[in-house]
């Protein structure tokens, strides 16, 4: 009976142990009595932080690209009463920012808004003409019948041959999305329907390229849409609403920074990460090593390394020179002097340069070695996933009252994410407390104080990440139930500790390190649950087609071209578009919460795998 009672006891789940405390673990504070109050406040803080860094991403596939374009076209056409190609011209000029267009409409007025974008204030009716008189082309000066000439909305008319050659040149030059009128000092954008009609008759392949450029302009000329940088390319694009300083995940599994399209690199800023990967890939540190350990030959200027104790050095070209000063000498020498040569005078500049190069090299090696160590650990820990699945299978099949092992997978994913944060924190510290970016932003005293503050938090995170890694590597499938429960408590508690430490590190970076700087510097926020996977774009073809039909009523009465011949085409902003788009401030507001980035403090489920190991798991 006792055995039956024990056999029917309910299984223990990890959620039942999340609130248990272990005095042997490393906690962030001694206020265990106020744990419930802290948890409630933490949830409120996390929700506030999520609002501060709100962003939502959606995937634009090849099939939904046209529907996404139609949706933005419809908004502008309905509210401003524009033809479709004029709405497209306006959208591309302002980087497909519909809200920005409506803001500038109030600030600048309709006429100025249109003129800056290249839209004529008064349209001409170029659909047909009843005149039979020949038209003189002001380019080739040939007299052609009206049917062999085309007139743009701005009123300028040229022969079709000249227009066609002009359009082909512009398309080949990559300006197909924003072709201006040929007339001198005319800022108007040519009608894409006329471009399409003339080019396709002579060069169908160039016309096809023109169509593709127009279609892809929604991505190429849009600040809120980026191609997925996956290799090989999945063909998807990601559209983000809200904060563009975020990290997103495509449906293909590729995780990347939306702002710079490089791999996810938070807490490094985009500038820091670009400088870091360049520093690691090129020969900048090799040059530093050469500066520290070699001297240039005065004859052939090749670097020479000293491999003995004598200060008379011979290059492979045959030139002898003094190692101390680098001056060319003869070969007659003793251990104490070189014949006919003296360099006992102190040269301060050269000594300072050598010492500075040596310090820079040692400093880089310090941060790079630790960055690489954690990156290598992340790659090794990625192999734990398959091993852990095997351990879980063995544990679930043996006789035990513990049947829920989700805490292992949740802890493993927490380890992946925190390890990645820890590895990227070293490139961040290299540039944050160096002279490459913020040389004049902090006094030496402020730099030292902030560096100590950051390194204290970095050290705490590193210590607890290593402890979590140690518990997850244990062979728990061989443990007794009591040992499994003890390991479970440690993993759950350490997962929460590591999560909170990551939040505090991000809070320190955003509020104490980056916010006081004069130069705006933003990082992607910390996501406790992992990167949000982009959702499918929810614009259906039926609704897009209905919206396309509804916009016909708002188009100019002079044009009645079927929507099917124009839908999905764009024109490119060439050159000065970014000057006309008003950007929001690059500096985020200071977050006054005590927590770090977004996500709930107790979120341990449905976690994503970091970008570095996604292809290995």
In 272-359, which ranges are E strands? 294-296, 303-305, 312-314, 320-322, 328-329
Residues 442/291, Cβ–Cβ less than 8 Å: no
Mapped onto helix, strand or coil, the DSSP state of residue 610 is: coil
Q: What is the residue whose two structure tokens read 């390194």? A: 455
Instruction: Give phi and psi for 136, each to the nearest 5.
Output: -95, 125
Nearest to 193 by CA among 89, 65, 90, 71: 89
Q: How far apart are CA 585 and CA 588, in angstroms?
A: 7
Residue 135: its H or E element: strand 135-136
Mapped onto helix, strand or coil, the DSSP state of residue 360 is: helix
Tokens at 563, concatenated: 């929507």
Q: What is the residue whose two structure tokens read 């401003």? A: 80
Q: What is the residue whose two structure tokens read 């879980």? A: 392
Query: What's the Cα-to-Cα distance from 93 to each of 4, 83, 89, 114, 189, rounded to whole Å?
Result: 76, 16, 6, 10, 11
Tokens at 356, concatenated: 């500075």
Q: Which residues of 161-174 are buried (b: 16+ CB within 10 A; e: fewer)?
A: bbbbebbbebbeee
Catalytic: 310? yes
Tokens at 443, concatenated: 């006094």
Catalytic residue of the set 26, 181, 300, 310: 310
Nearest to 292 by CA among 275, 306, 279, 282: 306
Instruction: Give phi and psi for 138, each to the nearest 5.
Output: -80, 5
Nearest to 123 by CA among 84, 155, 81: 155
Q: What is the residue whose two structure tokens read 């979120």? A: 603
* CB proximity list for 69: less than 8 A, separation 6 or greater: 215, 218, 567, 568, 570
406-432 and 348-382 are packed helices; what angle lies between their axes, rounded to 10 degrees? 170
Mapped onto helix, strand or coil, the DSSP state of residue 540 is: coil
With helix as H, strand as E and coil as C, how does 195-248 read?
HHHHHHHHCHHHHHHHHHHHHHHHHHCCCCEEECCCCCCCCCEEEEEECCCCEE
Nearest to 468 by CA among 503, 501, 497, 435: 497
Catalytic residue set: 310
């Amino acid at each position: 009976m006792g055995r039956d009672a024990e056999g029917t006891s309910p299984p223990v789940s990890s959620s039942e142990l999340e609130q248990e405390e272990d005095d042997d673990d490393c906690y962030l504070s001694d206020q265990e009595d106020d744990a419930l109050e802290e948890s409630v406040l933490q949830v409120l803080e996390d929700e506030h932080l999520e609002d501060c860094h709100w962003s939502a991403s959606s995937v634009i596939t090849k099939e939904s690209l046209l529907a996404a374009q139609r949706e933005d076209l419809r908004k502008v056409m309905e509210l401003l009463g524009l033809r479709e190609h004029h709405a497209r011209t306006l959208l591309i000029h302002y980087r497909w920012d519909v809200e920005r267009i409506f803001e500038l409409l109030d600030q600048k007025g309709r006429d100025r808004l249109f003129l800056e974008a290249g839209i004529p204030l008064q349209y001409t009716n170029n659909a047909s003409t009843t005149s039979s008189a020949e038209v003189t082309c002001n380019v080739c000066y040939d007299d052609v019948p009206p049917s062999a000439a085309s007139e743009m909305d701005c009123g300028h008319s040229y022969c079709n041959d000249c227009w066609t050659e002009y359009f082909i040149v512009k398309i080949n030059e990559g300006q197909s999305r924003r072709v201006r009128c040929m007339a001198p000092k005319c800022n108007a954008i040519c009608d894409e329907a006329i471009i399409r009609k003339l080019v396709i008759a002579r060069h169908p392949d160039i016309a096809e390229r023109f169509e593709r450029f127009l279609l892809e302009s929604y991505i190429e000329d849009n600040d809120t849409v980026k191609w997925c940088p996956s290799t090989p390319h999945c063909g998807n694009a990601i559209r983000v609403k809200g904060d563009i300083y975020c990290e997103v995940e495509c449906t293909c599994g590729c995780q990347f920074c939306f702002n710079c399209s490089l791999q996810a690199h938070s807490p490094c800023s985009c500038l820091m990460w670009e400088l870091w990967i360049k520093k690691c890939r090129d020969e900048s540190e090799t040059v530093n090593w050469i500066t520290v350990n070699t001297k240039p030959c005065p004859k052939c200027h090749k670097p020479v390394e000293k491999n003995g104790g004598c200060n008379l050095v011979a290059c492979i070209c045959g030139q002898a020179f003094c190692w101390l000063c680098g001056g060319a000498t003869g070969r007659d020498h003793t251990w104490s002097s070189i014949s006919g040569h003296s360099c006992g005078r102190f040269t301060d500049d050269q000594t300072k340069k050598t010492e500075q190069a040596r310090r820079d090299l040692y400093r880089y090696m310090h941060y790079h070695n630790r960055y690489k160590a954690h990156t290598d650990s992340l790659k090794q820990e990625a192999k734990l996933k398959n091993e852990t699945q095997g351990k879980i299978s063995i544990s679930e099949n043996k006789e035990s009252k513990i049947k829920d092992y989700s805490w292992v997978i949740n802890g493993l994913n927490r380890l992946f994410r925190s390890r990645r944060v820890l590895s990227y924190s070293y490139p961040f510290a290299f540039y944050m407390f160096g002279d490459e970016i913020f040389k004049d932003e902090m006094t030496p005293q402020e730099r030292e104080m902030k560096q100590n503050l950051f390194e204290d938090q970095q050290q705490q995170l590193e210590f607890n990440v290593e402890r979590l890694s140690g518990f997850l590597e244990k062979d728990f499938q061989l443990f007794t139930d009591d040992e499994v429960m003890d390991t479970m408590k440690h993993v759950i508690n350490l997962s929460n500790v590591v999560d909170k430490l990551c939040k505090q590190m991000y809070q320190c970076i955003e509020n104490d390190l980056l916010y006081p700087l004069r130069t705006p510097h933003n990082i992607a926020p910390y996501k406790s649950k992992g990167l949000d996977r982009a959702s499918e774009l929810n614009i259906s073809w039926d609704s897009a087609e209905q919206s396309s039909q509804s916009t016909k009523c708002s188009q100019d009465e002079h044009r009645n071209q079927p929507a099917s011949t124009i839908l999905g085409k764009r024109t490119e902003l060439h050159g000065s578009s970014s000057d006309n788009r008003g950007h929001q401030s690059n500096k985020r507001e200071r977050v006054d919460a005590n927590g770090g980035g977004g996500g709930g403090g107790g979120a341990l489920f449905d976690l994503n795998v970091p970008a570095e190991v996604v292809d290995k798991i």
